[in-house]
Chains A and B, each alone.
Chain A
Amino acid sequence: EDKVVQSPLSLVVHEGDTVTLNCSYEVTNFRSLLWYKQEKKAPTFLFMLTSSGIEKKSGRLSSILDKKELFSILNITATQTGDSAVYLCAVVGSQGNLIFGKGTKLSVKP
């Protein structure tokens, strides 16, 4: 059965800290892994990592994929209060649908 496990479930840091969020997965015929940020409403797309693109960076956010060890990390440097959100990791399942982890709730204190 395809599954995604994220850790930690929640995290509290102070502004300026660097955080690392973890995502491990088991999926038949891996195709891609996606990271989303969810504040109050809709998850917003951050990154997609595939076999041909195992590292992505956008501003203070970066992500890597380790296909051998079946995990990904999302790094946020110099955190700001606006980074407070639930971060969701998902993989494309064997039928093409997205399978999500339970998310990591990040709280950034001023």
Chain B
Amino acid sequence: KAGVTQTPRYLIKTRGQQVTLSCSPISGHRSVSWYQQTPGQGLQFLFEYFSETQRNKGNFPGRFSGRQFSNSRSEMNVSTLELGDSALYLCASSLVPSGGPTYEQYFGPGTRLTVT
């Protein structure tokens, strides 16, 4: 079974630009969560999508948004990039039985975003 895939793997953007990251979950997994990982803050939860609906949201500004498609693939968008947005962005998928809590999340390799 293929794992979680993320594209692109590396990205360099300039302040003020916007960026879209993509995540394809493990086949059959309906929940996709996004995390930002930085050396100082560790792994921080951005949001979770389930059945094309945002189910949970972390404490990030509105510049961070996402969506999920009917095939469970998800995209994350960051607008008006700031230097502090430089990070590893990880997505994780999980098999959610009947909309239960999202345990055992499986992570993709991440997208390394550098903002200059």
Q: Does B101 contact A101, Cβ atoms closer than 8 Å?
A: no
Residues of A within 8 A of B107 (CB): 36, 42-44
Q: Knowing A92-B101, A100-B42, say if A41 contacts B106 (CB, 8 Å).
A: no
* Shortest distance from the beta carbon of B53 to any chain A beta carbon, whole Å: 13
Contacts of B54-79 to chain A: CB distance below 8 A: 55-56, 58
State whether the Cβ of B105 lies closer than 8 Å to any Cβ in chain A.
yes
State whether the Cβ of A76 lies closer than 8 Å to any Cβ in chain B.
no
Q: Knowing A42-B4, A42-B90, say if A96 contacts B48 (CB, 8 Å).
A: yes
| Closest chain A residue, CB of each to CB of B6 | A42
A interface residues, Cβ below 8 angstroms from B: 31-32, 34, 36, 41-45, 48, 88, 90, 92-93, 95-103
